[in-house]
């Protein structure tokens, strides 16, 4: 029999705990190039589930899927300096094909604004129809100095949406709408509460006018930027000379948005919900919702038959299950199920068979339930719903308990030192933000909207300058 590996505890070493969980839960193996990973079946299945839900929303919004090239030519790169400056050090550059040198370098997309701008230009010149709302499911590559599986990979999977509109207001509203959807998706499907708001000038996307972000709190109280939507204004349209004709047949420059979420969310799911025994999946996104564990099935065929009965009921209820019919020890099977994160496990031994009884255990709080098999479908559904709600509640309480409001530099620095999310009245310069980062390690995560769930005052005094301001900014150490 294989011995289970030991998972480092979160308190001992959070970073090591994270890597232990994602490797032992078979989400990924390290790839051969720095910062790349092999998405294993379970890890990739999480992404497939995310894609399914998010894509259904896009279809409803009449956003159409496309696929655009991985390769960006030299002359595109030169068109949008500001945008590219942000990515330049990370650009993977192709200079050769076979043993022949290319005349011009080719770049691998770090994001596809340049390609969408090129496409929009041609389409609008041909059809003059706006808005155009597109999305692609693909990967992008950025050569990062520090990498972390899922959270910051050289190559990651994502969706990138790109739209172009005649109206500035319509475009900006559209970016906001997508950001609202991201918040909804994280909270309602991934059970991850977020704080959403606009990025500061310093933190916004290279080339954007406004960036709207959703920020989540990991169990070590670090922030994770979990999805963003950008209002790009006319920045790309101007550089690519995109024009449409308005009703008066006058040439006008349209407005763009772009927005994305990525496989980084897999890391967020792990870091928000899991524990020292391994992964805990929110039921709505779990690749396997119920593990069925056969005990002593080698000696007792009835156990196998009972497992199949259970499987049939779950299948009809559209609950994703997996049967562990291996010859491993009971302890190993339970441990293995806990490591891999199925929200529920059902344990079947000869006793259960004899009594037509289900022994169900919640992964998150180890609560045990015993009931007749006739109640299985109903109970399972209810308990899965309960787990989903409880995981969200737990994460939300953590977020609230560890977010503090401060009014002075001292309080600010102390709170950051204590690993809090810190909200402060703040109307300072990007340079000040940089100072703060250098001194405390914290960055501005977002400007809080007026209607945020924190009962903020109408105005305050910016903590450095003392200037009166109605802007409140969330700061935190982040991934």
Contacting residues toward a copy of itself, per CB under 8 A: 29, 31-33, 36-41, 44-45, 47-48, 64-73, 76, 88-99, 105-106, 108, 115, 118-119, 122-123, 134, 139, 141, 143, 154-155, 157
Asked whether 282 and 271 are in contact (CB, 8 A), the reply is no
Residue nearer to a copy of itself on the CB measure, 5 or 385: 5
CB-neighbour burial class of residue 295 (10 A; exposed 0-12, middle 13-18, buried 19+): buried
Catalogue the long-range contacts made by 457-463 (C-beta closer than 8 Å, 24 or more residues apart). Answer: 459/425, 460/407, 460/424, 460/425, 461/407, 461/425, 462/424, 462/425, 462/426, 462/427, 462/428, 463/406, 463/407, 463/408, 463/409, 463/412, 463/424, 463/425, 463/426
What does the block give as tokens for 315? 């299948």
- For the CB of residue 64, give the shortest distance to a copy of itself in the complex, in Å: 4
Residue nearer to a copy of itself on the CB measure, 32 or 316: 32
For residue 397, the cross-strand partners are none
Asked whether 231 and 205 are in contact (CB, 8 A), the reply is no
- For the CB of residue 135, give the shortest distance to a copy of itself in the complex, in Å: 10
C-alpha Rg value of the chain to the nearest Å: 25
Q: Report the distance separating Cα 337 and Cα 292, nearest Å.
A: 9
Residue nearer to a copy of itself on the CB measure, 135 or 198: 135
- For the CB of residue 225, give the shortest distance to a copy of itself in the complex, in Å: 22
Q: Report the distance separating Cα 268 and Cα 164, nearest Å.
A: 30
Query: Of 163, 179, 54, 113, which Cα lies nearest the Cα of 446?
Result: 179
Residue nearer to a copy of itself on the CB measure, 29 or 414: 29
- For the CB of residue 37, give the shortest distance to a copy of itself in the complex, in Å: 7
What does the block give as tokens for 161? 């949406």
- For the CB of residue 347, give the shortest distance to a copy of itself in the complex, in Å: 23
Q: Report the distance separating Cα 150 and Cα 21, nearest Å.
A: 13
Residue nearer to a copy of itself on the CB measure, 12 or 97: 97
- For the CB of residue 119, give the shortest distance to a copy of itself in the complex, in Å: 5
- For the CB of residue 94, give the shortest distance to a copy of itself in the complex, in Å: 5
Sign of the CA dihedral 342, 361, 313, 329? positive
Asked whether 110 and 84 are in contact (CB, 8 A), the reply is no
Q: Which residue has the tokens 């919900």?
A: 273
- For the CB of residue 268, give the shortest distance to a copy of itself in the complex, in Å: 18
The SS3 assignment for 457 reads coil
Asked whether 234 and 255 are in contact (CB, 8 A), the reply is yes
Residue nearer to a copy of itself on the CB measure, 136 or 469: 136
Q: Report the distance separating Cα 72 and Cα 111, nearest Å.
A: 10
Residue nearer to a copy of itself on the CB measure, 321 or 392: 321
Burial pattern 359-372, b for ≥16 Cβ within 10 A else e, equals bbbbbbeeeeeeee
Residue nearer to a copy of itself on the CB measure, 31 or 441: 31
- For the CB of residue 93, give the shortest distance to a copy of itself in the complex, in Å: 4
Residue nearer to a copy of itself on the CB measure, 5 or 201: 5
Residue nearer to a copy of itself on the CB measure, 41 or 466: 41
- For the CB of residue 334, give the shortest distance to a copy of itself in the complex, in Å: 19
Residue nearer to a copy of itself on the CB measure, 266 or 359: 266
Residue nearer to a copy of itself on the CB measure, 103 or 169: 103
- For the CB of residue 424, give the shortest distance to a copy of itself in the complex, in Å: 35
Q: Which residues contact 150 (CB under 8 A, 6 or more apart)?
A: 22, 27, 28, 37, 156, 263, 264, 266, 267, 270
Cα dihedral: 228, 229, 231, 237 (round 10): 100
């Amino acid at each position: 029999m294989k011995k289970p590996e030991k998972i480092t505890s979160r308190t001992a070493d959070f970073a090591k705990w994270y890597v232990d969980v994602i490797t032992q839960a078979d989400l990924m193996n390290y790839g051969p190039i720095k910062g790349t990973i092999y998405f294993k079946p379970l890890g990739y299945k999480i992404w497939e589930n995310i894609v399914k839900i998010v894509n259904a929303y896009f279809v409803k919004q009449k956003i159409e899927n496309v696929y655009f090239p991985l390769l960006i030519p030299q002359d595109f790169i030169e068109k949008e300096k500001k945008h590219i400056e942000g990515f330049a050090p990370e650009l993977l550059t192709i200079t050769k094909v076979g043993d022949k040198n290319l005349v011009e370098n080719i770049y691998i997309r770090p994001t596809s604004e340049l390609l969408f701008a090129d496409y929009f230009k041609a389409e609008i010149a041909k059809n003059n129809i706006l808005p155009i709302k597109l999305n692609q499911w693909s990967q992008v590559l950025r050569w990062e100095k520090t990498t972390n599986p899922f959270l910051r990979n050289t190559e990651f999977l994502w969706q990138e949406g790109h739209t172009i509109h005649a109206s500035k207001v319509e475009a900006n509203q559209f970016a906001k709408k997508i950001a609202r959807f991201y918040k909804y998706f994280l909270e309602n499907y991934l059970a991850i509460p977020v704080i959403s708001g606009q990025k500061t000038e310093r933190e916004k996307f290279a080339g954007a006018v406004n960036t709207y972000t959703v920020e989540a709190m990991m169990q070590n109280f670090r922030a994770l930027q979990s999805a963003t939507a950008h209002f790009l204004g006319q920045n790309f349209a101007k550089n690519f000379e995109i024009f449409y004709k308005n009703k008066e047949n006058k040439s006008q420059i349209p407005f763009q948005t772009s927005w994305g979420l990525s496989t980084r969310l897999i890391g967020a799911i792990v870091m928000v919900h899991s524990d020292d025994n391994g992964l805990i999946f929110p039921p709505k996104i779990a690749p396997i919702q119920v593990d069925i564990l056969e005990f002593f099935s080698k000696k007792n065929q009835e156990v196998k038959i009972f497992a199949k009965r259970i499987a049939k009921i779950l299948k009809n209820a559209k609950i994703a299950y997996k049967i562990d019919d291996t010859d491993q020890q009971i302890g190993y099977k339970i441990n293995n199920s806990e490591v891999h994160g199925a929200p529920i496990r059902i344990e079947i031994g000869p006793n259960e068979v004899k009594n037509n009884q289900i022994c169900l255990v919640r992964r998150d709080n180890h609560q045990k339930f015993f009931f007749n098999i006739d109640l299985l479908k109903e109970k399972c559904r209810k308990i899965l719903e309960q787990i989903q709600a409880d995981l969200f509640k737990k994460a939300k309480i953590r977020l609230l308990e560890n977010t503090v409001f401060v009014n002075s530099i001292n309080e600010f620095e102390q709170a950051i030192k204590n690993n809090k999310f810190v909200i402060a009245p703040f109307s300072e310069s990007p340079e000040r933000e940089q100072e703060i980062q250098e001194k405390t390690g914290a960055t501005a995560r977002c400007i809080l909207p007026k209607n945020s769930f924190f009962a903020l005052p109408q105005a305050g005094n910016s903590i450095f300058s003392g200037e009166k301001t109605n802007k409140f900014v969330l700061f935190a150490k982040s991934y």
